[in-house]
Amino acid sequence: MGMMLTIHPEKCTGCRNCELACALEHEGNFRVKASRIHVYAWEREAFSVPMMCQQCKDAACSTVCMPKALTRDTATGLVDYDAAKCIGCKMCVQACQFGNIAWDAMSGTVLKCDTCDGDPACARICPTGALEWADEGLAVQPRKKSFATKLKNAFAEAQS
């Protein structure tokens, strides 16, 4: 089975350790604008959501990529980026509906999550488990079960 980087926004504290780990892993320093993961914060409500490439099966980015710098590997389930082939047209940035790919002027490449060779630095550093590197078949089981529990409790209440 494949693995996926699962987001649990209810556990996110907004600490951005993921951005730091990603930047150091890929850039060698703490340039968080080059992070492939970005945390959005709603400060009034004290809520945050991390976002990164979702490695789409029918990836819009790879569809529009003329030089085939972005291609999907069916074995790994990842959309791979080959900077050598990239012509910097930024059509992928235009195409991605999630905004999960970005152009980095400093390096002259696009930034997208590559799951760090099967050991994502962001999931490793996340202090609360808001980012989880999980078996894609099981990734949402806890969430599904949590809602199932609410249903179970509702029935128990109705019966008593």
Checking 64-72 for CB contacts under 8 A at 24+ apart, the result is: 64/91, 64/92, 64/94, 64/95, 65/91, 65/92, 66/91, 70/110, 70/112
SS3 readout for 97-119: CCCCCEEECCCCEEECCCHHHHC
The verdict on 106 binding other proteins (CB under 8 A) reads yes
The verdict on 99 binding other proteins (CB under 8 A) reads no
Contacting residue, 8, 16, 36, 112, with other proteins by CB under 8 A: 16
> Per CB under 8 A, which of residues 113..132 are in contact with other proteins?
125, 127-128
Contacting residue, 2, 41, 67, 88, with other proteins by CB under 8 A: 41
CB of 127 to other proteins, least distance (A): 4
How many residues sit in the footprint of other proteins (CB under 8 A)? 29
Residue with tokens 């012509």: 87
* H or E element, residue 38: strand 38-42
CB of 150 to other proteins, least distance (A): 18
Binding site for other proteins (CB under 8 A): 10-11, 13-17, 20-21, 23-24, 27-34, 41, 43-47, 106, 125, 127-128
